[in-house]
Structure 1
Amino acid sequence: MLQRNQAVLWRELAGEAVLLDPQAGCSYNLNQVGTFIWKLLDGAHSPQEIATEIAQYYDIGYEQALLDVEKLIANLQQHNLLLAPPV
């Protein structure tokens, strides 16, 4: 299960999240879908479970939701915004 990096500060403004990585000195903006995913990256949800939630909430196909989730997760991992899952 993936989890947000606890060192990353974030706030939700008008349905969109602003993330601040104080170690890197960088900020990132997430749209509404990205914010929805970010909130579920709590260590209790798998990417597949998150995709199911998105598909139901936004009334889109599961396959498209899973692609969107995987793409965002890869981007967040690239910027060290997620904790690595235990091996």
Structure 2
Amino acid sequence: MAIESHLLSVPIRSKYYVTLQAAAKGFDQYQGKVGIIRSVRADGFLEVDFSCSGGTESVHLDSYLMEEYAPPMDGGKESLNFHC
């Protein structure tokens, strides 16, 4: 059963890579994984896609739990082995 959210969500067109803060508890499956922000909800939660690093395709996490991550690079260009 899908859960409907009545909160507004804005898609992100630019690539913003994020990772879970090391101190975040209760989200072990996302620790050490890099995700890309897909959208931002009105309540400050981010829709983060972890599929590029072997995680769940898309989850909503509080923005306070996330930190920016430099884009994966390969020879000075964004890595072609890291697509979301």
TM-score (norm 2): 0.30
Q: Which of structures 1 and 2 has the bigger CA Rg?
A: 2
Higher strand share: 2
TM-score (norm 1): 0.29
Higher helix share: 1
